[in-house]
Amino acid sequence: MTVDYPTLAKTIASLTEGETDTVALMATIACEVHHADDRFDWTGFYRVTEPELLKIGPYQGGHGCLQIPFSRGVCGAAARTGQTQLVPDVDAFPGHIACASSTRSELVLPVWNSGGTVIAVFDIDSNRANAFTTVDATELARILAAVFAPG
């Protein structure tokens, strides 16, 4: 199974229309994206809760790390730099945090609000190496922008 991004984007737009609660939006996106593709082993958000710190938000899959400093791991790198992190082999990523030993590859996207502030990162882990593509990154970034930074 691979993601049908046009359908996923329409589904998420329909489900989130008019909703302003960030946690409700994150929960809906995590659920829909997680079930859209069997490559996605863990799918969820880490929210910026204080300067330089991410805390776990809504997610699907096994347990995750409860908090991640901006200075550590793939999620921290995405939050710190504001750049998408597409990691084909987590073992080759310096400072990778192993929240789950089954994770082989990871895609983490910064989540921006309409004011241009990073409010979270969207983290997708796979138990397969090299599971993600630039198409995944681009399409998911579009969906996140449409929900959290419309306009």
Residue 144: its pLDDT value, please? 98
Question: Does the pLDDT value for residue 60 go beyond 80?
Answer: yes
Which tokens in the block code for residue 135?
A: 């198409």
- 58, 80, 59: which is closest to 68 by C-alpha? 80
The CA distance from 85 to 30, in Å, is 18
Check residues 94 and 11 and name the one with the higher pLDDT. Answer: 11
**Exposure string over 83-116, b if 16+ CB within 10 A, otherwise e:** ebbbbbebeebeebbebeeebbbbbbbbbbeeee
Q: Where residue 99 sits, what CATH number does that domain have? A: 3.30.450.40
Residue 150: its pLDDT value, please? 87
Q: Report the chain's mean pLDDT, rounded to a whole number.
A: 94
Residue 93: its pLDDT value, please? 83
Mean predicted confidence (pLDDT) in 44-64: 96
Cβ atoms of 83 and 10 closer than 8 Å: no
Residue 20: its pLDDT value, please? 95
pLDDT band at 47 (very low <50, low <70, confident <90, very high): very high
Question: Does the pLDDT value for residue 103 go beyond 90?
Answer: no
Is residue 57 packed enough to be buried (19+ CB in 10 Å), middle (13-18) or exposed (0-12)?
Answer: buried
Residue 117: its pLDDT value, please? 96
Q: Say what percent of the chain tops pLDDT 90.
A: 86
Domain count, the chain: 1
Question: Does the pLDDT value for residue 91 go beyond 90?
Answer: no
Mean predicted confidence (pLDDT) in 104-109: 95
Domain that holds residue 10: 5-148
Question: Does the pLDDT value for residue 1 go beyond 90?
Answer: no
Residue 140: its pLDDT value, please? 98
